[in-house]
Chains A and B, each alone.
Chain A
């Protein structure tokens, strides 16, 4: 056990230390989503109609809040896995690959480090965001009002699960890549649309094809799970873009399992590429 978890611990610790030494990463991962949240919230306030599932009127900013939290999870999780490309290029990775540790430990080291960073930043947003209402940058949001300790724990647990899944997704994309340019391309044509079409940004009730894409997107279940856990007191309806809590958790667990398995499979393959 120790021979597995000591490397995992040390590698994730390294991720955290590196992150805090690159201040700009903190600004990028947290600052941009908050800015989006404020700007889109202000801009779309007038034209937004509360989705069908809402039990009462809802401002766009309120609707958008879980979406932004997921965006932060996704950006942080995924950007922390880009470091695998840098580790390979800068040579750090080769030292890890010749160490007597299992490659699964290497994967878990990266995933745990990325997950901790992602959850910490999303939590920071959920605390800061509603506080911005005091400054007039956001409408008053009722989030957190009816939350007990247990609800907060469930929320954190679910965010951790989702962050782990997203870090693993980023890892599986980054592992075979040679350059960060390729990663940015995937980011804009695959990951960004995946977020846009998850019910995070808009409900997507108007169009049949859109509602199907949303229904088939695993991230929809992440956003929905988070949304429902944030409002434990309220009863939202069930629609394609807002599945019930049970299916949301189930799909997210499966999504996580698939991404983690894929990451481990890819990493355990010993190819000549590792030796570069």
Chain B
């Protein structure tokens, strides 16, 4: 590669006490990419985010951002990155402009340079007319934009965003992504964004799926989807294990138990669907056929559902709970 990667992780690992929050995480993000970290809550994405933002120390492995080593030269990393946290980092008692001024000073900017940057960013993020308003009077979407403006003030090469659309309505979320795409085009910023939303992950150039601290899939959204067979069948019934055994016996088809449902990945799923309904009319309560989604990719790679809402998953749920 001619251009060195904007972010490079090699076998990064992180523990909190006994809990392995990150395990052997390696990937590269090319300059100018919008890269997504998709995973359920407790999957390790926020830990990874915090290590990259230099808030947590690198315990094992290596991470470089914009060519600087996170462990060896955190100061240089901090200058090179803009960080937008999941929870707001704005002072709500201060105005938009005051928040940006303090941020600029923290990054060593002052005087005319600072004022020009603030004016430009406010214009770019359509906030110019709100500059003298207190942050607490702004809508959630606008606050998030101020937050992003804050992260971009010192012209970082890499922008890290943790769950940027948390708490935003769909309209504001759409706007946010429009701004990100625009930024990438105009300022050639590399963007790393964590999310637990499938539709948000779809908008990334490439993404890594994290589960229980490990990377379970890495690629463009299209590559990931096409890695899962042709179609996905989801079958619900009273006795899923019994049904799975009988399906295997009769059709030599492997089905995966996911929560209280069975899942089958297969080309020409509609043929199998017809045969299954004919063969087990009494055992099948419902059956659904769909093209694979990123959620299917997640299930295919991990063997469990993205959301821990099924009864059978309660043991895992408590395990996740104890990690926090």
On A, residues with C-beta under 8 Å from B are: 2-3, 6-7, 9-11, 13-14, 17-18, 21-22, 90-101, 270, 272, 274-275
Contacts and interface: CB of A to CB of B under 8 A. Distances in A.
A14 B78 CA distance: 22
A92 B108 CA distance: 18
Nearest to A21: B93
B55 A99 contact: no
Nearest to A13: B102
Interface in B63-118: 75, 78-79, 81, 83, 85, 87-94, 98, 101-103, 105-108, 110
A6 B56 contact: no
Given A94-B55, A99-B106, A17 B89 contact: no
Nearest to A8: B105
Contacts of B83: 95, 98
A206 B110 CA distance: 59
A100 B79 contact: yes
A18 B93 contact: yes
Interface of A is mostly: helix
B256 interface: no
Q: Which of A7, A100, A101, A270 has the most CB of B within 10 A?
A: A100
A94 B94 contact: no
A6 B55 contact: no
Contacts of A22: 93
Given A3-B108, A91-B85, A272-B56, A18 B91 contact: yes
Those 9 A-B pairs whose CB atoms lie nearest each other, nearest first: A95-B89, A10-B105, A100-B78, A99-B106, A275-B55, A275-B50, A91-B87, A91-B89, A100-B79
A95 B110 contact: no
A90 B92 contact: yes
A234 to B, nearest CB: 45
B55 A274 contact: yes
A272 B78 contact: no
A6 B54 CA distance: 22
Interface in B44-72: 50, 53-57
10 contacts: A9-B105, A10-B105, A10-B106, A18-B94, A91-B88, A92-B89, A94-B87, A99-B78, A99-B106, A272-B56
B92 A275 contact: no
B102 A98 contact: no
B94 A7 contact: no
B98 A17 contact: yes
A82 B50 CA distance: 25
B16 interface: yes
Size bracket, chain B contacts:
20 to 34
Contact of A92 (B54, B75, B90, B101): B90
Contacts of A3: 108
Given A14-B94, A95-B106, A99-B106, 9 more contacts: A2-B108, A7-B105, A14-B98, A18-B91, A90-B91, A94-B85, A101-B106, A270-B55, A275-B50
Q: Which of B54, B57, B101, B102 has the most CB of A within 10 A?
A: B102
A14 B92 CA distance: 12
Q: Which of B56, B103, B105, B106 has the most CB of A within 10 A?
A: B106
A14 B102 contact: yes
A245 to B, nearest CB: 39
Contacts of A270: 55-57
A5 B88 CA distance: 26
Contact of B91 (A14, A98, A101): A14
B212 interface: no
B78 A98 contact: yes
A91 B88 CA distance: 6
A6 B108 contact: yes
B145 interface: no
A17 B78 contact: no
Nearest to A97: B55
A118 B55 CA distance: 32
A13 B98 CA distance: 10
Nearest to B76: A100
Contact of B107 (A17, A93, A99): A99
A205 B93 CA distance: 48
B50 to A, nearest CB: 4
A54 B207 CA distance: 77
Nearest to B91: A92
A193 to B, nearest CB: 33
A20 to B, nearest CB: 10
Nearest to A102: B75
Contacts of A101: 106
Contacts of B110: 6
Contact of B150 (A9, A17, A21, A95): A95
Given A99-B106, A99-B107, A101-B106, A10 B101 contact: yes
Nearest to B84: A95
B56 A275 contact: yes
B94 to A, nearest CB: 7
Contact of A272 (B16, B54, B88, B102): B16
Contacts of B53: 98
A26 to B, nearest CB: 15
